[in-house]
Amino acid sequence: MTTPDVPASPPTAPPPAGAVPLQARDTLPDLLRGVAIGMILLVNMQDFAGFAVWQQHGLDRAAQVLTDTLVNGKGISLFAMLFGAGAATVHARHGTSRLARRLGALLLLGAAHFVLIWHGDIMAQYALIALPLVLLLHLPPRGLLVAAAATAAASVFAPTGVVALGTLVSGVQQLGEPRYAPTEVSATLPYLNAVQARAQDLVHTEWGVITYGGTWLLTLMLLGAYAQRAGLLSRPHEHQPAWRAVMLVGFGFGVPTSVVLALLNGVPQEWADYAADPARFVSGVLLAFGYAGALALLVVRGRAWLPLVQAGRLSLTTYLTQSVVMTFVFYGWGLRQYGTWGAAASLLLGLVVYAAQVAFARWYVPRYGRGPMERVLRWLVYGRAA
């Protein structure tokens, strides 16, 4: 696929004083966010509920295969690309200092989410991984592609280096592995004890995740930044051949590799667990491309489903609400259902909660605009919440 011919720098019109007004937001990025946030919830259900993927049988096994094939690794890949696109937008409108302030605000919110609610937070990780963008976004669009190629190449060798580093720093304990047992925190510890355990493990866990998958996520952020700068996200109608090619390549290679991931996740041997990691990375990126291409073409044809677009505009509120609801259902401070649900029931609950969130967004956005957490983020970045 040839890259669109774009200017080397963003338009020179003076930037607005604040964040982008809701009426001026592009449809495609919000639609992609709305879809990605649902995918992320469905994948996170395994961690919330506490079931082992290789121990699922019958209907539970079918639900797990469906989850692995369609959404595992895909939502987080889409979200990483959108994170990069958002960073490019802030940088183009407000410059480096405002982008750094936004990343700092997301780091603060993500750390609070990790400590107070759930150990699976991605906001703090994304904010730290995106720090190189503060410098790299000065590159022309094709320079971003070169940087993405370099980080993609680095990601091939990163796991080997991380294993060695983990051995050096932590002995037999692998970086990114919690110092506490997840089951203990989720199912038995009182809330304040769980908060204390997560607070003690925050830096250790975040560092492990960043060093293991940081180059992969940075690659996706750079691709998202390129897509934003090239107009692929803001003007999809001008790039239909490119989006069609992205869709065909993504689905053509992403579906088979996703099936491989689903098969590996059903094998109870350790080798399959190691093999599943690259399968998750590759299939996640490829099928994320496929979904992005398909949704872009739907936007071009005027067929974007508005409630999903509205859910995307509440993505931060939606994401944090998912953590609150699911930890209440499964963890010790709530209904204590951890370890008692299989994949099928967990998938159904995830779908019900996501559908309720989409319905809420459809009601809320036309009346109030930005969500509660979006207002908090806006206040932290721009100094006002309205």
Q: What's the CA gap between 142 and 147, in Å, rounded? A: 9
Any domain includes 109: yes
> What's the whole-model pTM score?
0.86
Please report whether residue 336 resides in a domain. no
Q: Could you give the CA distance from residue 358 to residue 234 in angstroms, rounded to a whole number?
A: 23
- Domain annotation covers residue 347: no
Closest CA to 118 of 338, 377, 383: 338
Beta strands in the chain (DSSP E): none
Q: Which two tokens stand for residue 71?
A: 């959404």
As a residue count, the chain comes to 386
261 lies in a domain? no
Domain that holds residue 224: 75-230
Q: Which amino acid is at 270?
A: E
7 in a structural domain: no
Q: What is the rounded CA–CA span in Å between residue 5 and residue 141? A: 9
In order along its 386 residues, the chain shows pLDDT tens digits of 444 444 444 443 444 444 545 445 789 999 999 999 999 999 999 999 998 888 889 999 999 999 999 999 999 999 999 999 999 999 999 999 999 999 999 999 999 999 999 999 999 999 999 999 999 999 999 999 999 999 998 887 665 444 443 433 333 334 344 444 555 565 678 899 899 989 998 998 888 888 878 899 999 999 999 999 999 999 999 999 999 999 999 999 999 999 999 898 888 777 887 788 888 889 999 999 999 999 999 999 988 789 999 999 999 999 999 999 999 999 988 999 998 999 999 999 999 999 999 999 999 999 999 999 999 999 999 887 55
335 part of a folded domain: no
Query: How far are the Cα atoms of 70, 74, 130 from residue 135, in angstroms, in the given order?
Result: 35, 27, 10
Q: Is residue 133 part of a domain?
A: yes
Structure-token match 């496929």, residue found: 290
Q: Is residue 13 domain-resident?
A: no
Q: Work out how many domains the chain is built from and give that number.
A: 1
C-beta separation of 299 from 29 below 8 A: no
CA distance 29 to 186: 34
